[in-house]
Amino acid sequence: AQSVTQLGSHVSVSEGALVLLRCNYSSSVPPYLFWYVQYPNQGLQLLLKYTTGATLVKGINGFEAEFKKSETSFHLTKPSAHMSDAAEYFCAVSPRPGSGNTGKLIFGQGTTLQVKP
Amino acid sequence: ETGVTQTPRHLVMGMTNKKSLKCEQHLGHNAMYWYKQSAKKPLELMFVYNFKEQTENNSVPSRFSPECPNSSHLFLHLHTLQPEDSALYLCASSQQLAGVNNEQFFGPGTRLTVL
């Protein structure tokens, strides 16, 4: 069955430092890939998604993610963390049509990003 | 209103009460979802509707009863809940259930507390 793993439930960085949040998926056929962010007491907001084409995807708020098929990964990065980036981040996958399922999103456990001044 | 809205934002209810959560999407989407988000647990998909028809029920207890009168509205009727049902209930919608346009757009959620 399709699954997604986020390494590290809690990541702490200093303001201005590189942000790296890890996501790995398990499937023989690369799925569609998503990153969502959730600020306290709010719903999830789509940061970026990968479906096909260029493997480096740019999203909102300066975030980007790179799809690496050989590593079955879709890690999220931001060159310089800002205090406002503190939030919960969710990686999600969706099997491609024809994979024999409904294509609904499967979410990882989430990673809490703390940004220290 | 834009995006996905949910009302109420906060709800406190006793175990014998009956209440309903409302979700409305203003995006012209065809699929709608209910999720439960508990502290320190992953997002749990509860129900999926596509073109008003329920396509998925993830073994949700019958004390949760969804209703989808049209593609823009989704309700979650609650009765005789348990304290462990306290959580953030998120509604989402997507253009398609599957395919390249199946990214989901979420509402702000309803924070439910069952006493």
Identify the band that residue B1 occupies on the pLDDT scale cut at 50, 70 and 90. Answer: low
Mean pLDDT within B68-97: 94
Identify the band that residue B68 occupies on the pLDDT scale cut at 50, 70 and 90. Answer: very high
CB contact under 8 A, A103 and B111: no
Q: Which chain A positions have a beta carbon within 8 Å of B108's beta carbon?
A: 41-43
What whole-number percentage of chain B has pLDDT above 70? 99
Question: Looking at per-residue confidence, does B39 or A110 come out higher?
Answer: A110
CB contact under 8 A, B90 and A32: no
Q: Which of A60, A99, A105 to mutate to test the interface with B (most CBs of B within 10 A)?
A: A105
Q: Which chain A positions have a beta carbon within 8 Å of B96's beta carbon?
A: 103
Residue B76 has pLDDT above 80, yes or no: yes
Q: What is the rounded distance in angstroms from the CA atom of residue A103 to the CA atom of residue B30? A: 14
Residues 6+ apart with CB under 8 A from B110: B6, B7, B8, B9, B10, B11, B21, B88, B89
Residue B99 has pLDDT above 80, yes or no: no
- How much is the pLDDT for A55? 93
- How much is the pLDDT for A99? 66
pLDDT profile of chain A (117 residues), mean per 10? 89 97 90 94 93 94 96 97 96 80 81 96
Residue B40 has pLDDT above 80, yes or no: no
B31, B50 contact by CB (below 8 A): yes
HEC sequence for chain A: CCEEECCCCEEEEECCCCEEECCEEECCCCCEEEEEEECCCCCEEEEEEECCCCCEEECHHHCEEEEEHHHCEEEEEECCCCHHHCEEEEEEEECCCCCCCCCCCEECCCEEEEEEC
Chain A closest CA to B63's CA: distance in Å? Answer: 24
CA atoms lying within 13 Å on the CB side of residue A6: 26
Chain B closest CA to A91's CA: distance in Å? Answer: 11
Q: Which chain A positions have a beta carbon within 8 Å of B53's beta carbon?
A: none
A27, A93 contact by CB (below 8 A): yes
